[in-house]
Structure 1
């Protein structure tokens, strides 16, 4: 079960449809589905659709989505805030050992 920012439990299905923004206020996408670890009973990823075209241009074809690791999530409320996605996506260094959103 997932918890809201105040620590209260919430239904996993309530994440679907929420907008996702970077901590800098940039719209990233909308939650279409969640990836779960059933053994640990935790959310491990967010499948996003309705992506920010400017942010994902050249990385994801139109109509495709991305899967973000749930550990990038910093706050869940009316919207979901994530850290570092803008910097991670703009970092085009191929020798970098960073993680990247998966198309």
Structure 2
């Protein structure tokens, strides 16, 4: 495994998949907490229309919390977004449109 630090901007353009192998979207931007120097979330565009057809955001993307990220490599693997969307009614879901 290569432990060489990577630029945060290298995440932009990577495809995001759920841990079940379902395409979620593509990283368009990164949400940072500059005070704590941590990544808070990933702004996704090019969304999978089947996953987000019931979520009317009025926008072309979503922001997912970085805590959902399970692995980063050639692609980004996140927790199962379909299960998270079903619980989006609660304020703890973390999904920001």
Aligned to 1:26: 22
Task: Please provide the CA RMSD for this pair.
Answer: 2.1
Secondary structure of the residue aligned to 1:55 is helix
* Cα distance between partner residues in 1 of 2:92 and 2:32: 23
* Cα distance between partner residues in 1 of 2:34 and 2:70: 22
Moved more, 40-49 or 54-63: 54-63
Aligned to 1:60: 56
Alignment of 1:77-92 (within 5 A): 77-91=73-87
Unaligned stretches of 5+ in structure 1?
none
* Cα distance between partner residues in 2 of 1:42 and 1:100: 17
> With structure 1 as the length reference, what TM-score do the two structures score?
0.82
Instruction: Measure how far apart 1:48 and its partner are.
Output: 0.3
Contact preservation (8 Å) 1:88, 1:98: no
Aligned to 2:95: 101
> With structure 2 as the length reference, what TM-score do the two structures score?
0.87
Contact preservation (8 Å) 1:27, 1:52: yes
Secondary structure of the residue aligned to 2:95 is coil
Distance 1:23 1:38, change over 3 A: same
- Structure 2 residue 7 is the aligned partner of structure 1 residue 11: yes
